């Protein structure tokens, strides 16, 4: 399939909220994130979104509402000239102890199985310690942290655990530029 860039959603692609993103009107792109995805696609990378969406398991939103949010995201990226190949999400509440909730690698492993992905040909961009640990647990070759969303707090948490991402950037656009420059496909 080629080189895969896994992206977290909330705090990487769109503005996160402590109240959760419960409907498509609450979904707002972080500036330049659709353009960043388009830039990756135009340079031969495939983008897959990997996201925890416990709102489903907590009965805060319906699957239809989540699908409408995903559709808005995919359409915004398409309008910018990019494509989100697929979206894998965990619908479970944290206490469900499932295998797909980040930092567990289940979502990435599901994508690997579906698309026959060589994880040595993949990277993950996230804004939280859960995203970075998920990428490590799955065996992604490059791991990037962005400071949008929870990134600044995650940077300190990772440092205290002795974990250093391959790149720390201000936002997804900066991360995309680093990937294009530093990852050979």
Which residues are known to be catalytic? 8, 10
CB 140 within 8 A of CB 2: no
Neighbours of 98 (CB within 10 A): 14
Q: Which residues pair with 49 in a beta bridge?
A: 7, 87
Please, where are the H alpha helices in the chain? 33-42, 63-79, 106-115, 129-138, 151-160, 172-182
Angle between helices 63-79 and 33-42 (to 10 degrees): 60
CB 45 within 8 A of CB 84: no
Tokens standing for residue 99: 């295998």
According to DSSP, residue 29 is labeled B
CB 3 within 8 A of CB 122: yes
């Amino acid at each position: 399939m080629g080189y895969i860039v896994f992206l977290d959603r909330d705090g990487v692609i769109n503005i996160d909220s402590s109240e959760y993103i419960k409907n498509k009107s609450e979904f707002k792109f972080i500036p330049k994130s659709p353009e960043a995805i388009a830039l990756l696609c135009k340079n031969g990378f495939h983008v897959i979104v990997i996201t925890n969406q416990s709102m489903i398991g907590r009965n805060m939103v319906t699957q239809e509402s989540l699908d409408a949010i995903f559709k808005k995201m995919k359409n915004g990226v398409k309008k910018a000239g990019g494509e989100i190949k697929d979206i894998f999400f965990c619908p479970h509440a944290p206490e469900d102890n499932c295998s797909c909730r980040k930092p567990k690698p289940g979502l990435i492993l599901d994508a690997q199985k579906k698309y026959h992905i060589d994880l040595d040909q993949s990277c993950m961009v996230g804004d939280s310690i859960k995203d970075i640990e998920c990428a490590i647990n799955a065996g992604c070759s490059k791991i990037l942290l962005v400071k949008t969303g929870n990134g600044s707090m995650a940077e300190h948490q990772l440092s205290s655990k002795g974990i250093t991402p391959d790149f720390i950037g201000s936002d997804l656009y900066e991360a995309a530029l680093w990937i294009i420059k530093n990852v050979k496909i």
